[in-house]
Structure 1
Amino acid sequence: MQKEYNLSQIDEIATAILTQSKHKIIAFHGEMGVGKTTLIKVLAKQLGVNELTSSPTFSIVNEYHTTNDVLYHFDCYRMEDEVEAYDIGIEDYLYSDAWCFIEWPERIQNLLPEEITEVNIKKINEQLRSIHLKN
């Protein structure tokens, strides 16, 4: 999937990601402020998360309960190295068969399973983004 979208279309984009993703581990790539966390909040809501979602910047991982599953939202931006990921038990999360949404996945690239969905978001201008989904 390759599309351009604005904030008013984010629900459609989230639906397309959930429909087209072949994997429950989704890695979100994009520069700071491009809208990764905003998109993940909409994805969580569509999966049935009723609680308030926020960026796990300082906690590194937040856990949410969906309608019939668990969602782990990671923000790896503050990780210095992959040892920190091991310290939080990243392997347990990644191989739990739960949804795993990972911001800044390049910080733990060597730890990610081969079978993941990659989402790349780029800022075109203040209102417009492009998204590319790769399974």
Structure 2
Amino acid sequence: MTLTYSLDEIENVAKEILAIPLLKKVITFHAEMGAGKTTLIKALVKELGVADNSSSPTFSLVNEYEDLNGDPVYHFDLYRLNSEEEAYDMGIDEYFYSGNWCFIEWPEKTPNLIPIDHAAISIKVKPGGKRELQIKN
């Protein structure tokens, strides 16, 4: 599926993504710095009913939120991760295989730890500030 959108349409994009039948709960996000990964994840988290103010977990590696059902939603920013071993030591695999939503920025930092059965979102910035999103589920 491919979507082209502007940032003021991000809430509708989040709704469309979450409406994908049998959408996998582990989703990796691939894009250059500043392309809107965190902005899209914030919209997805909001759409899941998270009341907390979501932000990028740049310094903590993971933020945990609670959705409308009281289930955890995890947002990872692995940019500052030094090694896969560091991620493994923090128990990242337990998050990934928990059955809960896991939104992962910079997944290329842990290529051997990402579950094989995951969805992937790629975002490209287009002329005029629009974004082109491709999702593979």
Structure 2 matches for 1:23-62, cutoff 5 A? Answer: 23-62=24-63
Secondary structure, aligned partner of 1:111: coil
Deviation digits for residues 21-48 of structure 1 (CA, Å, limit 9, x no counterpart): 6210010110000000011111000001
Tell me the CA shift for residue 124 of structure 1.
0.8
Secondary structure, aligned partner of 2:127: coil
Residue of structure 1 equivalent to 2:81: 79
Q: Percent identity?
A: 52
1:12 aligns with 2:12: yes
Ranges of 4+ aligned residues in structure 1 off by more than 4 Å: none
- In structure 1, what is the Cα distance between the partners aligned to 2:35 and 2:122? 10
Name which of 119, 123, 126 aligns with 1:124.
126
Residue of structure 2 equivalent to 1:66: 67
Q: What is the identity, as a one-letter code, of the residue corresponding to 2:73?
A: L
Tell me the CA shift for residue 125 of structure 1.
2.8
Tell me the CA shift for residue 86 of structure 1.
0.6
Compute the RMSD of aligned alpha carbons.
1.0
**Gaps spanning 5+ residues in structure 1: where?**
none
- In structure 2, what is the Cα distance between the partners aligned to 1:19 and 1:89? 30
Residue of structure 2 equivalent to 1:102: 104
Tell me the CA shift for residue 80 of structure 1.
1.5
Task: Provide the TM-score with structure 2 as the length reference.
Answer: 0.95
- In structure 2, what is the Cα distance between the partners aligned to 1:72 and 1:8? 24
**Gaps spanning 5+ residues in structure 2: where?**
none
Q: What is the identity, as a one-letter code, of the residue corresponding to 1:42?
A: A
